[in-house]
Structure 1
Amino acid sequence: MQMTNNSARTQTCVKVVTQLPSRNAFLPEPDRYAPLQSDFIPVMIKAVKQLRRLLGNRLHSVYISGDLVWRRAVVKESVLSLTVVCQQALTLDQSNALNTLLWRLKTSHHKIINDCHIDIVTTSHVRDLSQVFHWGFFFKHRAICLYGQDLSVSFGLFEASWEVAKAMNPDLSGKLARAKQKVTAASTWNTQLNTAQWIADTLIRGAFGLVMHKEGRWSESLEECAEAFIKHYPAQKTTVERLFILLERKPVKKRAVMTLLNDFGDWLIKEYARIDFKIG
């Protein structure tokens, strides 16, 4: 990849931050050369073609993440998670058109994917040194480039550090507050179940972030995240089981959901603060 001066500086700094004497300390990268699952290739090709048509010269690169990266995607169950890197922020018209594109991908490929998410980020943001533990880790260890200049080559390998754990679980307090507001205001089961499922996923991954540096590994599996967390916090086993009930979209009374979010969610935020103060 031919890099700009900014990306070259980023590469040098990242390697200094993450390099360890032994390569065994680094986290594994996804296999960027093995074939992707054939069932999902048509929807990925369609997404890239339409993104190129919509964004034109603003488009820098397109990435997949999640189960598709690890070849564990399940037809009708897995989500197509796309990260789109742009040279500049989108115009209002492009943002509106992107929402339409997202809807079309979901509806036209509903027999293959359960849902589709698209995150937009600019090149200046991903190359900002303050974002290195988030975007550097994401591109190097969690994503595969489908189109454009692969940003993973701009970063060195990362280890399972507390800095990465914090960066990959940003704004937990804000997400928790928004979830509480949505659950409180929900007037239909569908709204409550959607919100509860989303925040349960967020809290389980956030809980794993507390122990990632102790485990020395990263995991995309919610089951593995929960198992690792419970190993270090066995008293939270029942709470985690309740989060999985929300994750499975089982109807739970609003009061019970709010109690869970208030008790465990608030505890999780305080535990992040405690560990951050301890580690620094």
Structure 2
Amino acid sequence: MADTTRSRGLDAQGYLAREGSLGQIPHAFRPVVAAARDRLLDAFGARLHSAYLYGSVPRGTARAGHSDLDLLVALHDEPGAPDRTQVDALGDALDKQYPQIDGVGTILVGRARVLSEGERHDLGWFVACLCTPLLGEDLAEYLPRYRPDALLARETNGDLGRRLPRWRERIAAADVTQEALRPLVRSLSRHLVRTGFTLVMPRWNGWTSDLHEMAEAFGGYYPERAAPMREAAAYGLEPSGDPAGLRAVLDSYVDDLGPWLAREYARVHGEKAARQELP
């Protein structure tokens, strides 16, 4: 009989198991990771507390030329605007040098914020369960273990209603070109699919970071919304189409799927506690 607990991302005690490892990094991406590690050390030196990988690269599912490199960097102190400029420049340089990645996304935070009570079931959970240590002391050692419960669901993605106005502003301001719209479609698609999944996560009783699996889990509880969620999963992986089509996808997110999902999320789990958002 299959071990459904482990297959759904839980350990033997029913806690979320940490996903990813340095050993799972595909061979093509190892030079990129090595360069990122060295450049982070050069950029921040003694201010760097720890650095992590997350996403498809440490999960071993990254596709050369299609996947981005995702990093989380924790400093001993709170980062400022010059620090954010520095990590953006570092990411741009990596993206230009290594064709196997399609962009670099970096979350830059201070150690104290990761360990704060307000972030315990959001950023803290993210580091403890979805991030693979790359440099420094692992902050997961100071964080609790997590279950796929309603508290985690609320505090991770219970703010979609507050995000939608900003999404509309970003869509309105974006150039109607593939270059401008593709990353926006990919980002919003992934966010919607993950929100749809965490809506049903406590009932599904597990975790997956696979967008198609997330969409299928969601569709099992909301069959009337399964088709648009499956389409969002596909766009989250490969946002293809002409500019007019991509813009239509974005409009459907903020006019239909997003508002419905925000209302249903608030009804089922409540709204996420307000806190300062990451830049």
TM-score range for the pair, normalised by the shorter chain length: 0.7 to 0.9
C-alpha spacing 1:52/1:223, structure 2 compared with 1 (3 Å): same
Q: Give the equivalent residue in structure 2 for 1:168.
A: 156
1:188 aligns with 2:176: yes
C-alpha spacing 1:219/1:244, structure 2 compared with 1 (3 Å): closer
Contact 1:69 1:142 in 2 (8 A): no
1: CA distance between counterparts of 2:232 and 2:162?
19
2: CA distance between counterparts of 1:197 and 1:91?
27
Q: Give the equivalent residue in structure 1 for 2:255.
A: 262
* Equivalence map 1:20-59=2 (5 Å): 23-30=12-19, 32=21, 34=23, 36-59=25-48
C-alpha spacing 1:253/1:61, structure 2 compared with 1 (3 Å): closer
Q: Which is higher, the Rg of structure 1 or of structure 2? A: 1
Contact 1:182 1:192 in 2 (8 A): no
C-alpha spacing 1:166/1:250, structure 2 compared with 1 (3 Å): farther
- Give 1:255 deviation, angstroms: 5.3
* Equivalence map 1:16-95=2 (5 Å): 23-30=12-19, 32=21, 34=23, 36-95=25-84
Contact 1:184 1:254 in 2 (8 A): no
- Give 1:157 deviation, angstroms: 2.3
2: CA distance between counterparts of 1:133 and 1:34?
27
What are structure 1's unaligned runs of at least 5 residues?
1-21
Q: Give the equivalent residue in structure 2 for 1:17.
A: none
Quick one: percent identity of the two aligned structures? Answer: 23
- Give 1:102 deviation, angstroms: 1.2
2: CA distance between counterparts of 1:221 and 1:179?
23
Output the amino acid matched with 2:240: R
1:225 aligns with 2:214: yes
Output the amino acid matched with 1:211: V
Query: 1:78 is paired with a residue of what secondary structure?
Result: coil
Contact 2:51 2:136 in 1 (8 A): yes
What are structure 2's unaligned runs of at least 5 residues?
1-10, 272-279
Superposition CA RMSD, Å:
2.4
1:274 corresponds to which of 261, 267, 275 = 267
2: CA distance between counterparts of 1:79 and 1:65?
10
Q: Give the equivalent residue in structure 2 for 1:250.
A: 241
- Give 1:113 deviation, angstroms: 1.2
1: CA distance between counterparts of 2:248 and 2:24?
47
2: CA distance between counterparts of 1:38 and 1:55?
27
Q: Give the equivalent residue in structure 1 for 2:104.
A: 116
- Give 1:196 deviation, angstroms: 2.6
2: CA distance between counterparts of 1:256 and 1:109?
30
Q: Give the equivalent residue in structure 2 for 1:18.
A: none
- Give 1:116 deviation, angstroms: 1.0
1: CA distance between counterparts of 2:235 and 2:255?
15
2: CA distance between counterparts of 1:56 and 1:268?
43
1: CA distance between counterparts of 2:41 and 2:25?
21
- Give 1:256 deviation, angstroms: 6.2
